[in-house]
Amino acid sequence: MGDAHGDGLPADGELPLHTIDVGGYVIDETAVTTADFATFVDATGYRTSAERAGTSAVFGALVADESTVVGQAPATPWWLEVRGADWAHPEGPGSDIDTRSDHPVVHVSFVDAGAYCDWAGRSLPTEAQWEYAARGGLHAARFPWGDELVDGPGVRRCAVYDPDVWGAPFPAEPGSGVGVVPTTPARSFAPNGFGLWQTVGNVWEWCADRYDPRYYRRSPRHDPAGPDRGASRVLRGGSYLCDDSYCSRYRVSARSHNTIESSAGNTGFRTVARP
């Protein structure tokens, strides 16, 4: 496990390389889709963290109505806090998921993902489970399909920020991406060697583990849902906003994190279960 190529940011804690026995488990072929999440909401009446808070984070270039912006992230000003943005309204009021039933659900917090797992009788993967599955059986590979980002003459294998598609270098200007659907259907491109689709480059995926920038590991004594529930939790896989001009976290070993009630337009999840 870890960054075998020296690509990672030291602060992200992708080192040291180490071996983990994850045991047997089954994992979703795709991220949980909006249709999956809608079924859960219809069955339970669940309201997400974003719905309860009334706001969620939207990439600035996608905000359809600037009057709904109520805040901005100081360190990452391209992220705007938008009133009315949630899983059913990914870019805020006026947006919907009518054509995105097969896209990964977004604007779900760690708490929301856990509620879905409880309902489905499953759980979030540990970092080790996620990374092992994401590599698809390739030893120390940079990506789920190998070590090169492109396949053939400039053909990418995942949905990451592409200036030629967006029409602007990252992070683009507020409103410039109106009408663009940033996520792609969960079964786009090709599956990896284990039959998993888009483990990198579409949405960040929540993992069960608490975030520790020094290392990541899974031991029998480690309870990822332990008493410090308020700690940040791990995110893996990068998203459609990963770009080499800013970061390259669409690699399998890349890591990020957020607090358990945080949600954003590029964050989703997939689930696991023991066989």
Q: What are the residue ranges in the chain where pLDDT is below 70?
A: 152-154, 175, 177-179, 213-230
Q: What distance, in Å, lies between the first and last C-alpha atoms of the chain?
A: 23
Per-domain boundaries in the chain: 1-48+104-275
At 156 the pLDDT is 75
- Residue given tokens 């992220």 in the structure block: 79
At 222 the pLDDT is 43
The set of residues, in sequence order, having a beta carbon less than 8 Å from that of 62 and lying 6+ positions away, is: 91, 177, 178, 180, 182, 265
- State the Cα torsion 163-135-192-158 to the nearest 10°: -10
What CATH number was assigned to the domain covering residues 1-48+104-275?
Answer: 3.90.1580.10
The set of residues, in sequence order, having a beta carbon less than 8 Å from that of 263 and lying 6+ positions away, is: 48, 49, 50, 56, 57, 86, 106, 107, 108, 109, 112
At 25 the pLDDT is 96
pTM score of the predicted model:
0.92
At 227 the pLDDT is 42
At 226 the pLDDT is 47
At 164 the pLDDT is 72
| Helix, strand and coil in the chain, % to nearest 5 | 20, 15, 65
At 179 the pLDDT is 65
